[in-house]
Amino acid sequence: MSAHTVTLHRVLKATPDRVYRAFTTPTALAKWLPPHGFVGTVHEMEARVGGRYRMSFTNFTTGHSHAFGGEYLELVPGERLRYTATFDDPNLPGRMQITVTLRTVFCGVDIHIVQEGIPAVIPAEACYLGWQESLQLLAQLVEAAVEG
């Protein structure tokens, strides 16, 4: 069984800095990354190259949780993030790598995400759906310009 790769692209009405901070601020990540129906908890985050993070998603209906974590491989503020992710569940083997590229465009920020090495037991379509929901929440967080 081979692993999956998904590629996503969005343009948001925000700055690259706001999007970058949404990936590297624990409370922000817990707010937007869990797809609909899940709540997130960041247990550890050391956003530096070689630093580690660990978080879990909990199904709000069933209370079932799954945890994952990894290492930051590349962090260029406002431009690029690259990190790994491994599930705690031995039924979801392998190490994923996520690369996020941010680019300023005239109306905001162009976001390109590639997630490689997704365990074969997870359908690629489920990953796309989850990311689409997460990116919707990311847009709501970073596009809102709340003053004061």
Rounded Cα–Cα distance for residues 92 and 1 (Å): 12
E strand segments, 3-119 = 4-12, 38-45, 52-59, 65-76, 80-87, 96-105, 108-118
Reference 68, options 59, 60, 56, 58; nearest CA is 56
pTM: 0.94
Rounded Cα–Cα distance for residues 142 and 3 (Å): 31
Q: What are the pLDDT digits (tens) for 57-89?
A: 999 999 999 999 999 999 999 999 999 999 999
Statement: residue 1 has pLDDT above 60: no
112 touches 11 (CB < 8 A): no
Reference 47, options 96, 100, 3; nearest CA is 100
Q: What are the pLDDT digits (tens) for 32-60?
A: 999 999 999 999 999 999 999 999 999 99
Domains of the chain: 4-142 (3.30.530.20)
